[in-house]
Amino acid sequence: MIQKSAKNKEILAAIFFLFPIAAVAATRPEITSVPTANGTVGTGFYYQVTVAGEQYIGLDPTHTYLMNTATDRPQFCAGEDAWDLIVELSNADLETYLSDRASRGYNCIWVALADNTYQTNAPEDYYGNSPFDGADFTNEDATYWAHVDYVLGRMATYGLTAFASPAFVGDSPNGGYYTSYENSSDATLIAYGAWLGSRYQSYPNIVWTLGGDTLPPFYAKVADIATGIRSVDAVHLITMEGTPQADDGPTESSSGYAYCTSTCASWLNVDWTYNQYQSVQFGCGYNAATYPLPNLLGETWYEGEHGLSELQVREEGYWGILSGCPLGNLFGNNAIWTMGGPSDTMGATWQSQLSSQGSVDQAWEGALLRSREFWKMQADVNNNYLTGGYGSGTSISVLSRSSDGQTMIAYIPNGNATSVTINMAGIVSNAGTAQAWWFNPQTGAATNLGTFSSSGSQNFTPPDSNDWVLVLDDDAAGLPAPGSKVLETGSSATTFAATGLPPGLSINAATGLISGTPTTAGISSATVSVTNSVETCKTTLTLSITGGPVEPVKRAGVEARSKAVHAANPPAAPQQTCSAVIQPGAGTANPLVR
C-alpha cells in the first residue's frame, strides 16, 4: 500500500482554495440555541449551547480531521446508522433513543430525512405525513418537514450530529428513490438541494450525506443535490455514500471513487468508505492512499446481519479506524437502523438492542480513541512499527501511530494465538520509556503492563484468546488509562458558563453541553454566557423539570397517527446581551474550516 503522494497533497490544497466559502471577520459569539429546555427528575438531561455559524463537526485547518468549530477541539465520530429515526418513531420514543446514545458518548447519527422504502407505511412518517405533496423532491409537505425540524433540533439538544440523507438512491428500482432520481430533471434536484440548504443552514449539527447505494449512472443526479445545497449553504460538510461493494468492488465503494479524478468535486469534503467485513482494512487503506480527502468508515456489515459474530463487528471498526479511516466509524445494528420497520430481520426490538454487545463495544471504541491523540493517528501501512506477528486475511492485526510519536495503538483480533512484535522506536519519549497497556474492547478495562524502553523491539502476547488492543504511550506524557477520560487539547477558542442551573446539572466550560441528572422538580431561569476573543454574550435559559416521565403516545391506527406534531423551530437567537472582551483585531474566521 502506498502513502499519499506530494501531488495528492497539492490537489488537496487546490480543492479547498477553490471551495466557495468566503472568510469573514471574527464576530461576537451569538447564542443560537433555543431558550427553553425540559427534563425529568432522575433522568439524564442534555442541552447543547450553540453559537452562530459554528458546527459540532467541521474540518480543521489542515483538512485532516473533524473538529468542533466553536471550541476548536478535535471530534472523533463514534456513532451509528439510525436510518428510520425520523420516520418510524414517535416523539416519546425519539427521546428514549437520543438520551441513550448521548449517555454512551455517541455523537454521529446517520438518518434519512425522507424515506420511501424501509418504514412501516412508506413514504409516511409515524404521524401519517408524507415528505412530498406532489412528485418526489417537489412540493415539500409543511407538517412532515416541521417534524424533521423537530427531530434535528432534539438531536442538537443532545449534542448529536445528524449525517442527514436527503433521499436514499438505492441500487435497484425496489429500494430507495431509484426511480424518482431517474425521472427527475437536473433542475428539480438542484432546487430540492437548495430548499434543504436554505431550510437547515442555521442548524449546528448537520453533515449532508448524499447518495446511498449509488450506482455510477446516478452520480450526476446526486451531484445536482450537492450543487443546490452549496448554492445557499457554505457551512455544512458534505459527504456521499457510493456503490455497494457487492455491486462493483472494494476499490469502487467510496465517494472518492465517484467524485475524485484529477481533482475532487468542489462540494465534497469527506470521503465515505463503504466496504464489507472481509475488505474493510483494505478499503480504508486504499481510499486514504488514493483520494485527497479525510476518510470516514461510513458503512460496513451490521450487527444482526450477514451472520456476523460480535468479534467480526468489532474487527470492522478497529481495522477501519487504524488502517486509514481515522475520522470515525458509524456502527450498525439491524433492529436499530430499521427502528421496528419491515426490514427488521433480527426478531428483536430496537429498544432491546440499545445495550447490545455491538452498541457497548462502539461506545468503548469511541472512549479509547478520544483518550488519545486520535486526530494525529496515521496507519502503519508499511509495517514499520508492527513488524511481526501481524498475520493476514481475517486474522490481520493493524497498528496506527500518532504523528508526534506520543502513542501507538494496535488491534489484535486473534488474541494469544499470536505474539506481535513492535518497533518501540515509534514512541518518541524524552524519558526513553514507553508505558504499555492492554485495553479490552468488550469491557473498556485497561491493564497496566508497566514501562519498556522506547528503542529496539518488544514482543507482546495478549492475555487470552479474545481480541485485544495494545496501547503504547510516551511515559513522560503521563496519559490516563486508555478509555478512562477524554484527552483535553490546549485552550478552547470559546468558553461557556452558566449560573442558576437546577440541582444536578452543570455545564462543560469547553463544549457548552449542560448535562447531569436533575434532582428537583420546578421551573428555573439560568444565565448562560459564551466568551470568545471578541465578546461575552449572555442569555436566559428557562428549564422546566417535571417530577416524572410523560406517558408516551402509542401508535393506534390512522387517527392517533394524524395528531399534530409539536415541532421545534430551527435554532434562533434568543434575546441576549453582549459586552466586549477586547477590541476585535485583524484576522479571519471561516464558518467551515477554522
SS (H, E, C) 173-198: CCCCCHHHHHHCCHHHHHHHHHHHHH
- Sign of the CA dihedral with 150 first, then 153, 154, and 160 last: positive
d(CA 470, CA 409): 6
Domains delineated in the chain: 69-371 (3.20.20.80), 377-477 (2.60.40)
- Which residue is listed with cell 478520544? 370
d(CA 250, CA 244): 9
d(CA 262, CA 533): 40
SS (H, E, C) 274-308: ECCHHHHHHHHHHHHHHCCCCEEEEECCCECCCCC
pLDDT digits (tens, 9 = 90+) for 482-504: 999 999 776 677 899 999 999 99
- Element at 14 (helix H, strand E): helix 6-18
Q: Give CA separation, 256 vs 147, 300, 554, in Å.
A: 33, 17, 43
Q: How many CA atoms, within 13 angstroms, populate the side-chain half-sphere of residue 405?
A: 17
Cell of 76: 472523533
pLDDT of residue 11: 33
Q: How many CA atoms, within 13 angstroms, populate the side-chain half-sphere of residue 279?
A: 16
d(CA 45, CA 205): 18
Tell me which residue of 378, 387, 373, 384 sits closest to 419, measured CA to CA.
387
Q: Give CA separation, 333 vs 98, 345, 359, 423, in Å.
A: 16, 11, 8, 37
d(CA 394, CA 311): 11
pLDDT digits (tens, 9 = 90+) for 48-70: 998 988 899 999 999 999 999 98
Strands 73-74 and 522-531: unpaired
**Would you give the DSSP letter of residue 257?**
H
pLDDT of residue 548: 66
Residue ranges of the chain with per-residue pLDDT less than 50? 1-25, 551-573, 583-594
Strands 407-412 and 522-531: unpaired
pLDDT of residue 395: 94
Q: Which amino acid is at 510?
A: A
- Which residue is listed with cell 433492529? 335
- Which residue is listed with cell 465578546? 535
d(CA 98, CA 181): 31
Structural contact between residues 84 and 137, judged by C-beta atoms closer than 8 angstroms? no
DSSP, collapsed to helix, strand or coil, labels residue 122 as coil
Provide the CA 333 distance to its chain's centre, in angstroms.
16
Q: Which amino acid is at 523?
A: I
pLDDT of residue 26: 53
d(CA 98, CA 194): 28
> With 0-12 CB in 10 A as exposed, 13-18 as middle and 19+ as buried, what is 254?
buried
Q: Which amino acid is at 340?
A: G
3-state helix, strand, coil in the chain (%, to 5): 25, 25, 50
- Sign of the CA dihedral with 470 first, then 474, 480, and 485 last: negative
Q: Which amino acid is at 353?
A: Q
Structural contact between residues 405 and 437, judged by C-beta atoms closer than 8 angstroms? no
Contacts of 139 (CB under 8 A, 6+ apart): 132, 133
